[in-house]
Chains A and B, each alone.
Chain A
Amino acid sequence: MVFGRSKRARSAAADPVTLKILVAGGFGVGKTTLVGAVSEIRPLRTEEALTEAGRPVDSTEGVETKSTTTVAMDFGRITIHDRLVLYLFGTPGQDRFWFLWDELAHGALGAVVLADTRRLADSFAAIDYFERRGIPFTVAVNCFDGAQQHPVETVREALDLDGEVPVMLCDARQRESARDVLISVVEHALHTSAQAAATGPAAEPAERSPSTTG
């Protein structure tokens, strides 16, 4: 499969690079679906509580009963090439697992905030989280069947987003759509990174750590 190799890497320099993108959003907004749409492996779950047995994974009914069940992180993988692998992590939907967010966000390249226009407030926490930590993110509005479609600008206003934060409509079930969301995240990260490089050293001389490259 992806890592079938003809010779083992001998030095750290030759080791594959791994990156991660987080997929956040309210409960039942389609995080697992989005991860599954682009992942080359079935979304895997870690740290699943055994009491979860037999319960439908993405049931949106009985949300309150679900709050006693899992500490789960969905994740998927996209192998860009054999030296570069992108991992996708769905964040836990419940508030009491914020401690896991820190671990997940650690070193993340960027994030997707998946939103449902019927429950926009559910995405506030995630947006706030990434804004505070300076993690580049894209807001992707998952267009559920039957939900009224809102123009992107309306959503941007409703969420009070910075002008540079990409907002887009998506269908988390569609591979192409989910892929485009990820591309948007990486492009945004690239942009942010370029901006930081351009303005960083000159405009912010008093920053705590002078420069990442020293």
Chain B
Amino acid sequence: MTDRWFDDAAGPVVRPYAMTRGRTRSTAGDAERLDLIALVIADEPATGSRGAGREPRPDPAPPAPAPAGDGRVLGRRTVALDTIDPMDPVDPPPVARREPGNAPDAGEAADGEAEDPLDDAALAPEHIEIVKLCRAADLSVAELATELDLPVGVVRVLIGDLLEAGLVRVTRPVPPAELPDVSILREVINGLRAL
């Protein structure tokens, strides 16, 4: 039984392991504490041309990612589940074509920017994917894990790298042992009632 379990696990484990280069914890000290509901927020590129908010940003992009994102997850999931056999060295399809060194793919948020920090060759495609997703909308760690179809532990390591690089920041959810503010709880109740 035990042997079998390990056999089954080996397939899914290898790729994430390689992706983090063997790290199971982030090198950014606090990132391993990243809560599942911590929101990852893309920081404005320091050198970018959109310091004043959003002027040069191609605006067709933001509305699109949401529905497209969901669809993509589902699509990718289907692909992953149907086609990836641990014995079969299928490439990770969605990211393989996006090499960081290449010119940024057209149609993404990076379009109109002369110098995007995402061109940094040290970033893996998954890093870039995270930043792009977060530029479209703040996403929780759990949502990113689902979008990327990666284990939460791996996503934490990747987010840690991005924190160190100053490309994203994360929110700190309400600390445990401390209930959120009463007014917030009331807001939640009212919000739920309005559903």
Q: Report whether A49 and B12 are in contact in the complex, using a CB–CB cutoff of 8 Å.
A: yes
A206 within 8 A of B: no
A213: nearest chain-B partner, CB-CB:
B178
Q: Report whether A68 and B191 are in contact in the complex, using a CB–CB cutoff of 8 Å.
A: no
- Write out, one digit per residue, whether chain B residues 44-58 have a CB within 8 A of any chain A CB (1) or not (0): 100000000110000
B165 within 8 A of A: no
- Given contacts A78-B192, A193-B182, are A16 and B177 in contact (CB under 8 A)? no
B92 within 8 A of A: no
B189 within 8 A of A: yes
Q: Report whether A8 and B184 are in contact in the complex, using a CB–CB cutoff of 8 Å.
A: no
Q: Report whether A84 and B80 are in contact in the complex, using a CB–CB cutoff of 8 Å.
A: no
A19 within 8 A of B: yes
Q: How large is the interface on A (under 10, 10 to 19, 20 to 34, 35 or more residues)?
A: 35 or more
Q: Residue B81 contacts which of A50, A182, A190 (CB distance < 8 angstroms)?
A: A50
Q: Report whether A8 and B44 are in contact in the complex, using a CB–CB cutoff of 8 Å.
A: yes
State A9–B73 Cα separation when bound (angstroms). Answer: 27
Q: Report whether B171 and A212 are in contact in the complex, using a CB–CB cutoff of 8 Å.
A: no
Write out the residue numbers on chain B whose beta carbons fall within 8 Å of the beta carbon of A73: 36, 142
B67 within 8 A of A: yes
In the complex, how many angstroms separate the beta carbon of A92 from the nearest chain B beta carbon?
A: 13
A66 within 8 A of B: no
Q: How many residues of B contact A (CB 8 A)?
A: 57
B180 within 8 A of A: yes
State A175–B192 Cα separation when bound (angstroms). Answer: 11
- Write out, one digit per residue, whether chain B residues 63-105 have a CB within 8 A of any chain A CB (1) or not (0): 1001100100110000011101010000000000000000000
Q: Report whether A42 and B80 are in contact in the complex, using a CB–CB cutoff of 8 Å.
A: no
Write out the residue numbers on chain B whose beta carbons fall within 8 Å of the beta carbon of A4: 62-63, 66, 137
Q: Report whether A16 and B171 are in contact in the complex, using a CB–CB cutoff of 8 Å.
A: yes
Q: Which of B136-195 contact A (CB under 8 A)?
A: 137-138, 140, 142-143, 145-146, 151-152, 171-180, 182, 184-189, 191-193, 195
Q: Which of A184-200 contact B (CB under 8 A)?
A: 186-187, 189-190, 192-194, 196
State A38–B180 Cα separation when bound (angstroms). Answer: 22
Question: Which one of B3-11, B18-26, B113-121 is at the interface?
Answer: B3-11
Q: Report whether A50 and B179 are in contact in the complex, using a CB–CB cutoff of 8 Å.
A: no
State A90–B100 Cα separation when bound (angstroms). Answer: 36
Q: Which of A47, A54, A89 has the most CB of B within 10 A?
A: A47
In the complex, how many angstroms separate the beta carbon of B171 from the nearest chain A beta carbon?
A: 4
State A42–B146 Cα separation when bound (angstroms). Answer: 12
State A31–B66 Cα separation when bound (angstroms). Answer: 25
Q: Report whether A15 and B187 are in contact in the complex, using a CB–CB cutoff of 8 Å.
A: no
State A182–B44 Cα separation when bound (angstroms). Answer: 36
- Write out, one digit per residue, whether chain A residues 5-25 have a CB within 8 A of any chain B CB (1) or not (0): 011110010011111100000
State A4–B173 Cα separation when bound (angstroms). Answer: 20
Q: Report whether B173 and A16 are in contact in the complex, using a CB–CB cutoff of 8 Å.
A: no
Write out the residue numbers on chain A whose beta carbons fall within 8 Å of the beta carbon of B180: 17, 19, 109
Q: List 30 A-B contacts (CB under 8 A).
A: A1-B63, A4-B62, A9-B41, A12-B171, A17-B173, A18-B171, A19-B173, A20-B36, A42-B70, A46-B151, A47-B145, A47-B152, A49-B8, A49-B12, A50-B11, A50-B80, A50-B81, A50-B86, A51-B8, A52-B81, A77-B140, A77-B143, A78-B195, A86-B191, A87-B36, A87-B37, A89-B142, A109-B180, A190-B185, A190-B189
> Which 4 A/B pairs are nearest by Cβ-Cβ distance?
A80-B191, A1-B66, A3-B137, A53-B81
Show the binding face of B for A, using Cβ within 8 Å.
4-5, 8-9, 11-12, 35-39, 41, 44, 53-54, 62-63, 66-67, 70, 73-74, 80-82, 84, 86, 137-138, 140, 142-143, 145-146, 151-152, 171-180, 182, 184-189, 191-193, 195
Besides A15-B171, A68-B8, A89-B142, 4 new A-B residue pairs in contact (Cβ under 8 A), listed by A number: A4-B62, A15-B39, A51-B8, A183-B192
